Structure 1
């Protein structure tokens, strides 16, 4: 096998990964500051400072760029939530507050990320399907955390657990979207506190029912 050439100690594969990351950074900037309509091949490459041929080595459509960007934000969100849980107080409200605060802060400290995740993610049927699957992933995370926290040992957990987790995550997405649009006159901290109240209420109630 012929080894890939390196330049300055960086392999061809690493350079390609760097160009792909630069294009995603550029997509985040364009969508977050100018809107989805500005996401064109020429605009993206100009923002990233790359020749257009480098676009086609990583992506074959605008939806592919958006999907990759949404996936990257979802990964950052998952890592932030896990980090928040790791240092949270060992009680239901402390856990819920830490996870919710970590997620909302990640999406709103950099408003471009919220705009991509909550607005651009609904732009096409394919992206809506991807967003729905992402909600399912986070709902499974919430369900797993609840099962672990409340010590539920049933090998086939009650379907109500998944129902409530999906309800909570889906409801949070809609609530955060409304808040970002200015439809909910709350501060960010108030939004976090009210969301925590709902998560704890439904979690504690279900744990009591199953216990």
Structure 2
């Protein structure tokens, strides 16, 4: 095997796959450190030691220390999106079932592995840049909610009103989940999911009812 081939594959694993594996190992290590000790304890040396990698491999994937936090937040957001979309696809076609399935799936990602909720809350507020990134992520989830609502209720509702309620709902959910995880809300997990579902359905159905075609409106 020549040098180029050796670089391309070693032990049946390509160089690109090895880089991806090292990146995932660094993200896993960052998740552990932030969840256990907080963002202040996250250093390149400590991260690489935790991942069992030479420090030079950090800069193979990330340009600065916050780079791993940005990637970690993105990975958690991607897991949330995938879980929510899968839940919506398998849920019955009524507003409550759809909302309940999506909320249950999203909360499961964060609660079944408590490190993810803690890391997202800590890392997402660590610096102005990460706070801005978190705000963009909230808006992205709001767009997902708005798109789902528009597809479910139809296109009669003005888009700006759909967007407003979607941002309100997602932002409120983030604050509610933060309070619940901190022990400030005395609700079981199932009660939390049901209460959040009630709010989503209430605001969604109310807006749809206001703009649902009626004989009186059709004649105007």
| TM-score, normalization by structure 1 | 0.95
CA positional deviation for 1:5: 2.6
C-alpha separation in 2, matches of 1:150 and 1:142: 12
- 1:135-166 deviations in whole A, cap 9, x for unaligned? 01000000000011112267xx4311000000
1:135 to 127, 135, 138: 138
Q: Give matches, 1:26-41, under 5 Å.
A: 26-41=29-44
Q: Give 1:184's aligned residue.
A: 185
Q: How does 1:147-158 map to 2 (within 5 A)?
A: 147-152=150-155, 157-158=158-159
Measured in 1, the distance between the counterparts of 2:136 and 2:164 equals 15
1:72-111 CA-partner distances (Å, limit 9, x unpaired): 0000000000111111121110000000000001101001
RMSD (Å) for aligned C-alpha atoms: 1.3
Aligned length: 208
Query: Where do 1:51-70 residues align within 5 Å?
Result: 51-70=54-73
**Whole-angstrom distance in 2 between the partners of 1:97 and 1:46:** 41
**Cα displacement (A) at 1:14:** 1.2
Q: Shift in Å at residue 185 of structure 1?
A: 1.1
Which ranges of structure 2 fall in alignment gaps of 5 or more residues? 213-220
Contact 1:24 1:69 in 2 (8 A): yes
Bigger radius of gyration: 2
3-state SS of 2:91 partner:
coil
**Does the 8 Å contact 2:156/2:211 carry over to 1?**
no
Q: How far off is 1:168 after superposition? A: 0.2
1:104 to 2:107 alignment: yes
